[in-house]
């Protein structure tokens, strides 16, 4: 088979995967709208969405489930996309915003804005400080990654930064002072989409769109980077510009997502890894499917969190961690087998 | 080997922390007391003499949490720690039954009596606890007076039953509610209210669902802690437009959180607040 035919074939596969993920995402979203305290049929949900039928059903679907579902899609897409981009930028398959401290740093920024009154001054202070937190950690990881290449330094640095962010969140909550400090820590570090409204959906959206566009615009550069920095430069990639674009993009999407949901882990790890066998290893082919896959995974995880028969609703971060942590362990073992 | 006695411990520490000024009149028959928790603060402030009180909890002056916040301002409010209480020559520490285990164990080695208040949801148990704390603080008669006041309020409100069988739901900003077995539900029952959470088959301290609130709104909301000045991610339920818009159209009695921050004698004030709110609603409904 010629190279052109292979590329064309891969492109078709990518389109098929993308279409499948889009379908899964829509089915997941419909499920999210149907399942809750009382389950409704698809007909009732669709009638409710347009404001027809039983006014109680319409109110629940439009005011409670729709914002929550939209937010799950936004946050999931952000984390899936950020995971794929981060893995491309750091050229490391274990890079994930939650695992290496980007999400917890964003949560730290959000906690500072939230608990020290910045959000009463301007609501956008919440995503902006979260974005700042995510930026600091992403840049630190990038610099350390250049200085000490390899998986181990990256993961160890990530653990250190993650612990530091967790400790600073605890300190900030204690300084605030916040009588719910312990509960707040869990909420920020495990993440939840419970009882969110359109306010949060609208607040995060512009940052997610801008960040998403930046990440997708860097896709070709990330493709070149898979060959190494030298080779990428040889192919005409401006590395400083590419790094800045990706770092800002990751900070924007992770910061905006974390500021409305808390730090939800493992989505950015699981989704790109599940998709690589289908779309290949080129970031260009992986980014958009990862966003769609992340959205689909998050909306399903959030629905599972809602329907688990527990006294208190399980946080969605618990569901993603239950799924992602064993996955991560399996990846580590596989990396060890392949590695030197 | 010398085992430090009740006062010996304080004296030993006074030597160790020379010049720290922790002397305590040996002739004083009343124990020096401290509280490490909000609930303990209310007991200590209500029962002890001012010069008995060595320390209160750091939250004792928060007006939305502490019923006797004004009174608390006059006393030290150090961070709870065993050495703090030993340094202050405390003889009796009042604290929660479910926290500070190591602090209590350490203090007991220095013969400091620790009175541990469990989460009580039953009026008789609260009366017994009030008597116990009062005895430990050296004022059993004051404890008896507090118990009498609480029981009298309970009897009066139960007889009056101002709730008139309204279906009511208790809510905190995070969506937390109280069903049968929790003291808030006990007081709602005394006031003659039907508890929607209990009738839904829930029990104890539990949570309500926003969708359920929209589908089946109660006739009356009993709320607490909505006046809390702190922003919290856990308040999403109370901040949700789907809740705030509907809650604005439902009769609401906001019982100050400080009156039922724990199951103690302070519940008499919570009952008063609830009864007063219900009396206002009844007067409004009776108007032609």
What are the tens digits of pLDDT across the range A264-314?
A: 999 999 999 999 999 998 999 999 999 999 999 999 999 999 888 887 789
Looking at beta carbons, which residues of chain B come within 8 Å of A37?
A: 209, 211-212, 215
Task: Taking residues A158-173, report their average pLDDT.
Answer: 93
Minimum CA–CA partner of B205 in chain A: A311
Looking at beta carbons, which residues of chain A come within 8 Å of B210?
64, 195
- ipTM for the predicted complex comes to 0.83
A278 found inside a domain: yes
pLDDT at A43: 95
pLDDT band at residue A183 using 50, 70 and 90 as cut-offs: confident
Q: Are the beta carbons of A31 and A300 closer than 8 angstroms?
A: yes
**Inter-chain contact B232–A60, Cβ cutoff 8 Å?**
no
φ and ψ of B190, to 5 deg: -60, -35
Q: For chain A, how many structural domains are there in total?
A: 1
Q: How confident is the model at residue A8 (pLDDT cuts 50, 70, 90)?
A: low
Is A273 a domain residue?
yes
Q: Identify whether A59 is part of a domain.
A: no
Nearest Cβ partner for A119 among B59, B65, B231: B231
pLDDT of residue A262: 94
List residues of B whose CB lies inside 8 A of any A CB. Answer: 59, 62, 65, 175, 206-207, 209-212, 214-215, 228, 230-234, 236-237, 239-242
Each residue's pLDDT, cut to its tens digit, for chain B (288 residues) gives 333 344 444 433 433 333 333 344 444 579 999 999 999 999 999 999 999 999 999 999 999 999 999 999 999 999 999 999 999 999 999 999 988 888 999 999 999 999 999 999 999 999 999 999 999 999 999 999 999 999 999 999 999 999 999 999 999 999 999 999 999 999 999 999 999 999 999 999 999 999 999 999 999 999 999 988 788 888 999 999 999 999 999 999 999 999 999 999 999 999 999 999 999 999 999 887
* Among the partner residues B230, B233, B241, nearest to A197 by beta-carbon distance: B241
Q: From CA A190, how far away is CA A321, in angstroms rounded?
A: 9
| SS3 annotation, B208-270 | CCHHHHHHCCCCEEEECCCCCCCCCHHHHHHHCHHHHHHHCCCEEEECCHHHHCCCCCCHHHH
Evaluate whether A141 touches A90 at the Cβ level (below 8 Å): yes
Q: Which residues of chain A have a Cβ shorter than 8 Å from any chain B Cβ?
A: 36-38, 56, 59-60, 63-65, 114-115, 117, 119-120, 176, 178-180, 183-184, 187-188, 192, 194-199, 262, 311-313
Q: What is the crossing angle of helices A66-89 and A267-279, to 10°?
A: 70
B230 interaction partners in chain A (CB closer than 8 Å): 115, 176, 178-180
Q: How far is B3 from chain A (nearest CA, A)?
A: 37
Residue B1: its pLDDT value, please? 34
pTM of the predicted model as reported, rounded to 2 decimal places: 0.85
Domain that holds residue A240: 67-338
User: Does pLDDT of A79 surpass 80?
Assistant: yes
Confirm whether A62 is domain-assigned.
Answer: no
Nearest chain A residue (CA) to B173: A195
CB pairs under 8 A between A and B: 71
Closest C-alpha among A89, A78, A93, A73 to residue A127 = A78
CA distances in angstroms from B225 to A193, B28, B277, listed in the order given: 22, 40, 16
- Answer yes or no: are the C-beta atoms of A208 and A245 closer than 8 Å: no
Which member of A36, A120, A184 has the closest CB to residue B232? A184
Assess if residue A5 is contained within a domain: no
- In this structure, which long-range contacts are made by residues A178-184, counting pairs with CB atoms below 8 Å and at least 24 apart in sequence? A178/A115, A178/B230, A178/B232, A179/B59, A179/B62, A179/B65, A179/B228, A179/B230, A180/B230, A180/B232, A180/B234, A183/B232, A183/B234, A184/A111, A184/A115, A184/B232, A184/B233, A184/B234
Asked if A125 contacts A203 with a C-beta cutoff of 8 angstroms, the reply is no
Cβ-nearest to B232 among A178, A198, A199: A178
Query: Does A339 have pLDDT greater than 80?
Result: no
CATH code of residue A207: 1.10.3470.10
Residue A2, domain member (yes or no): no
* Residues on chain A touching B212 (C-beta within 8 angstroms): 37
Residue that has been written with the tokens 């392949």 in this structure:
A338
Confidence of residue A336 (pLDDT cuts 50, 70, 90): low
pLDDT digits (tens, 9 = 90+) for A185-225: 888 999 999 999 999 999 999 999 999 999 999 999 999 99
Give A256's pLDDT tier (boundaries 50, 70, 90). Answer: very high
Whole-angstrom Cα Rg for chain B: 21
**Cβ B214–A60 below 8 Å, yes or no?**
yes
Residue A185 lies in a domain: yes
What single DSSP character describes residue B53? E
Say if A272 falls within a structural domain. Answer: yes
How many angstroms separate the CA atoms of A53 and A49, rounded? 10
**Residue A51, Cβ density class (10 Å: 0-12 exposed, 13-18 middle, ≥19 buried):** exposed
All residues of chain B having their beta carbon less than 8 Å from the beta carbon of residue A312 are 206-207
Which of B38, B58, B205, B211 to probe the A interface (max A CBs under 10 A)? B211
pLDDT of B9 reads 42
């Amino acid at each position: 088979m010629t190279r052109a035919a292979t590329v064309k074939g891969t492109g078709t596969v990518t389109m098929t995967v993308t279409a499948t993920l889009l379908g899964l995402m829509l089915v997941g979203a419909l499920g999210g709208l149907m399942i809750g305290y009382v389950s409704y049929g698809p007909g009732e949900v669709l009638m409710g969405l347009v404001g027809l039928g039983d006014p109680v059903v319409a109110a629940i679907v439009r005011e409670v489930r729709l914002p929550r579902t939209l937010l799950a899609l936004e946050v999931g897409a952000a984390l899936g996309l950020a995971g794929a981009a981060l893995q491309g930028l750091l050229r490391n398959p274990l890079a994930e915003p939650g695992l290496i401290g980007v999400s917890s740093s964003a949560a730290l920024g959000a906690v500072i804005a939230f608990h020290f009154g910045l959000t009463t001054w301007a609501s956008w202070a919440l995503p902006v400080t979260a974005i700042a937190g995510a930026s600091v950690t992403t840049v630190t990881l990038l610099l350390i990654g250049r200085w000490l290449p390899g998986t181990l330094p990256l993961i160890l640095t990530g653990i250190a930064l993650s612990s530091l962010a967790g400790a600073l969140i605890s300190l900030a909550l204690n300084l605030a002072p916040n009588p719910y400090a312990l509960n707040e820590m869990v909420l920020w570090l495990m993440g939840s989409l419970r009882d969110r409204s359109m306010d949060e959906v609208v607040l995060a959206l512009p940052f997610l769109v801008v960040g998403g566009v930046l990440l997708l615009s860097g896709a070709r550069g990330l493709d070149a980077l898979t060959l190494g920095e030298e080779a990428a430069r040889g192919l005409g990639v401006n590395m400083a510009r590419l790094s800045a674009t990706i770092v800002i993009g990751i900070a924007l999407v992770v910061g905006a997502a974390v500021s409305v949901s808390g730090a939800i882990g493992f989505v950015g790890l699981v989704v790109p890894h599940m998709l690589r066998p289908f779309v290949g290893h080129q970031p260009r082919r992986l980014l958009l499917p990862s966003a769609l896959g992340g959205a689909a995974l998050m909306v399903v995880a959030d629905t599972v969190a809602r329907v688990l028969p527990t006294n208190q609703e399980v946080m969605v971060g618990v569901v993603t961690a239950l799924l992602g942590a064993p996955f991560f362990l399996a990846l580590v073992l596989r990396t060890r087998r392949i590695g030197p | 080997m010398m085992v430090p006695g009740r006062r010996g411990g304080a004296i030993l520490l006074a030597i160790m922390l020379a010049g720290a000024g922790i002397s305590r009149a040996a002739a004083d028959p009343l124990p020096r007391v401290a509280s490490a928790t909000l609930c303990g603060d209310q007991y200590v402030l209500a029962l002890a003499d001012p010069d008995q009180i060595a320390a209160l909890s750091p939250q004792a002056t928060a007006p939305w949490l502490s019923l006797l916040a004004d009174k608390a301002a006059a006393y030290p409010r150090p961070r709870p720690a065993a050495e703090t209480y030993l340094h202050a020559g405390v003889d009796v520490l009042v604290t929660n039954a479910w926290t500070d285990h190591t602090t209590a164990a350490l203090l007991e080695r220095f013969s400091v009596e620790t009175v541990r208040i469990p989460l009580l949801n039953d009026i008789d148990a609260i009366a017994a606890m009030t008597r116990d704390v009062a005895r430990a603080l050296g004022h059993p008669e004051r404890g008896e007076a507090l118990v009498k006041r609480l029981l009298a309020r309970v009897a009066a409100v139960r007889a009056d039953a101002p709730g008139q069988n309204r279906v009511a739901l208790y809510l905190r900003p995070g969506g937390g509610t109280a069903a049968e077995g929790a003291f808030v539900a006990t007081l709602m029952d005394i006031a003659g209210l039907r508890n929607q959470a209990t009738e839904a088959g829930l029990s104890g301290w539990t949570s309500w669902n926003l969708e359920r609130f929209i589908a089946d709104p109660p006739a009356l909301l009993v709320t607490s802690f909505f006046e809390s000045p702190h922003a919290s991610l856990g308040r999403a339920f109370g901040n949700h437009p789907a809740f705030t818009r509907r809650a604005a159209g439902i009769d609401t009695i906001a019982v100050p959180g400080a009156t039922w921050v724990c199951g103690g004698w302070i519940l008499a004030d919570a009952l008063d607040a609830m009864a007063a709110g219900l009396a206002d609603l009844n007067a409004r409904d009776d108007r032609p």
